[in-house]
Chain A
């Protein structure tokens, strides 16, 4: 036999020295505090998660310092007070007080002097009332930000708590109950592990304090590492389904899509690590889930707390009720029940976090298939057993090879299932597999790399290749210290700027928590569409959406936008006044968000027409606050009766949600008002947005009234009803041609009416990948005859927070519009002669 394992390590000299050095309590305390200090610096430098999390991290740092000197009998009350303080610190006094009050009310119900059954009924009634409020059926006198946090504290823990109240005879203390529900990190993590109450109670300072605290630091560092790795994959490697063209793209998409779970595993490690600092020696939340060697193994590893919750409250009770049917039947039915409950509770969770109850075929298919795979594995294990080990594994070449193949196979099935779970549509998922044939053909080339990764992964999981120089604990501490020092250094500008421009740009890019290019595009689409995708837990986008009110600036429900049976598909409704929480929007008789104008311009007037989308229309700002209105006002103020025309008019034809190709229809409306200048607003991603719209109209079967565009679609191989993802893939090589056609069409139409065609670029208020696409679009505009104005740099010196409407809506606010107006006005005045601003 070929023994591949290292011998079980004896404590080395380094371990023994470190343990003797760290025997002194003050030294241990300072050692932990020092690591926490570095961790807090890293959290700040890399903007880990949110500003709320940084506040909590600072609170944890200070709280740990005090907690460590508090007598043990008072540590639990201290932790409770710290947790309540954290709630107020993050949510503010008013919202925090409401959250605590509602939480206390729910806890009180659990302890009413009534039977358990009655208390459950009361909880259900109260919960039902809260659910109705959550669904937005009536207004509540508190901030919407309260819901996700209140829900994540109580929606599952109440179930566990009531279960333990019913079955566990051990008395519980008020402080322990309060600590359990108002867990300190929970206030900034809506996705939270389902901490078991019995485990919570049982493991409180059940080992030496220093050991528990150090494990906490280790796990927090591991969690931060996961979060940074997640950021790298999310920003640089995540692909949209429409970008999957080659076999390599398919592999990248599948693997990275699954690896985005690092966000959840990272957050959970940080959360449980933080709790360790206050004596809660809770178990780990997941364990190398990418190395699962069977589907049951995957289920056991990926979210251990969820698995334990299911087992305790649903699986075992179901099994015991069903076991009279026989062991096998009971296991199958109990497993199906547990997965059915998992499916329901996932949607239940999203209801509380998001306010709507998603019923998606993707969830049903995913959980059903996973249940079948787990049951099949269970039946196999019942018949043939499963290898278990007590001590460090003794691997043979054969057993290692078998395990590697199993791990690889499970991984492949899981990432395929994961891609289905995250698919927007069935057709969209199917289009992913277009390169499957190429993948199979190239399998021989990819196999060595894949096997190498699988072997290395499995070896590290088995602890092979590790030395006996350090014991396991000392090794964990050493890794923690190395990572802490490394990340602290790397996060310092004084350090990373010396690594060269590329390395520095890369580090700078992962120091911020911004949305990826794909999620920004989805956010923009999501202004106008109810995106399913934002319910998928591995998207950073849903956290932005979490705080978004359900009917945020709802243009369709307000009747602001109406359907048209032409290529543009929509337009603003005429003669409308619509008021929402942010602004009043008034449209004139022509369906423009503007004051009224005559069709024919007066002889002594100067008229421009402005084609654009939501920013131009003035999404979220008042009538009169749009940049168009401000420029018009400035022209009239500075030029009217000062050697200029008697009146200057800018007709605002901006329509929210318009893509570039829709302006081919809008330009006809603009030209019917006989403007001297037609301004075309271009935003980031002009090329891809033009392509996207063509894919959309193709899917919907909307007639394309432009022969050249129709011919282009045919050349690209579009078929009627084809999914948008597939259509976009086919159109991608024609992006320049599509946008070039549009620009040429607009310029020709505008010039034919004797007007000047002006392309002006309206930047986003945030920096991002859209910046890369501006120059190609601008060049295309100039090649096709536009006069161009570039407003990049208009927001220099300002930060996103002062320019955006709200966190989930990055349209420019009133300040943003003022800055745009000043810049555009300057540019127009600088080209006074070309624009013909004076008679």
Chain B
């Protein structure tokens, strides 16, 4: 699985679920999603649920934060890291 694939899938999900009608080009891999106020707690938990279901990973509470979920890049990196962890 490539990092770009994950970013693309997550981007599509976020645009469809939370930003319908927005210009896709405005959502870059470095757009701050949590610190920028785009994803509130409800949206973040929905995103977590999507990632868990799509990639078969399990989140823990302390992993739901800006470090792991603030940007598409951070999300993709985190997913890859979790998938490759023993």
Contacts and interface: CB of A to CB of B under 8 A. Distances in A.
Interface string A196-239: 00110010000000000000000000000000000000000000
Nearest to A199: B66
Contact of A331 (B22, B42, B62, B64): B42
A316 B64 contact: yes
A445 interface: no
B contact residues, range: 20 to 34
B42 A382 contact: yes
B61 interface: yes
Given A300-B40, A378-B42, A382-B42, A391 B62 contact: no
With a 10 A CB-CB cut-off, give which of B27, B35, B61, B64 has the most chain A CB atoms: B61
Contacts of A168: 62
A765 B23 CA distance: 66
A283 interface: yes
Q: Interface residues of B: mostly helix, strand, loop or mixed? A: loop
B57 interface: no
B66 to A, nearest CB: 7
Given A315-B41, A319-B45, A390 B61 contact: no
Nearest to B24: A390
Contact of B61 (A198, A320, A388, A391): A320
Contacts of B12: none
A382 B41 CA distance: 11
Given A388-B18, A390-B19, A312 B65 contact: yes
A706 interface: no
Contact of A390 (B23, B66, B67): B23
Given A296-B40, A315-B41, A381-B42, A389 B22 contact: yes
A388 B38 contact: yes
A297 to B, nearest CB: 9
Contacts of A390: 19, 22-23, 26-27, 31, 38
A168, A331, A388 — most chain B CB neighbours (10 Å): A388
Given A199-B66, A319-B61, A320-B60, A283 B35 contact: yes
Interface string A382-409: 1001101111000000000000000000
Contacts of A378: 42
Given A199-B66, A316-B61, A391 B18 contact: no
Interface string B24-46: 00110001000101111111010
Interface string A314-349: 011101100000010001000000000000000000
A317 B31 contact: no
Q: Interface extent on A, as a size class?
A: 20 to 34
A283 B45 CA distance: 22
Interface in A138-175: 163, 166-168
A233 B43 CA distance: 38
B83 to A, nearest CB: 18
Nearest to B62: A167
A163 B62 contact: yes
B21 to A, nearest CB: 9
Contacts of B35: 283
Contacts of B42: 331, 378, 381-382, 386
A493 B31 CA distance: 49
A311 interface: yes
A392 to B, nearest CB: 10
Contacts of A316: 41, 61-62, 64
A319 B44 CA distance: 12
Contacts of A167: 60, 62
27 contacts: A163-B62, A166-B62, A198-B65, A199-B66, A202-B67, A300-B37, A312-B65, A316-B61, A317-B61, A317-B62, A320-B59, A378-B42, A386-B40, A386-B43, A388-B18, A388-B19, A388-B38, A388-B43, A389-B19, A389-B22, A390-B22, A390-B23, A390-B26, A390-B27, A390-B31, A391-B23, A391-B26
Interface of A: 163, 166-168, 198-199, 202, 283, 296, 300, 311-312, 315-317, 319-320, 327, 331, 378, 381-382, 385-386, 388-391
Interface of B: 18-19, 22-23, 26-27, 31, 35, 37-43, 45, 49, 59-62, 64-67
3 closest cross-chain pairs (CB), A and B:
A167-B62, A316-B61, A317-B61
Given A198-B67, A320-B60, A386-B42, 4 more contacts: A386-B43, A388-B19, A388-B38, A389-B19
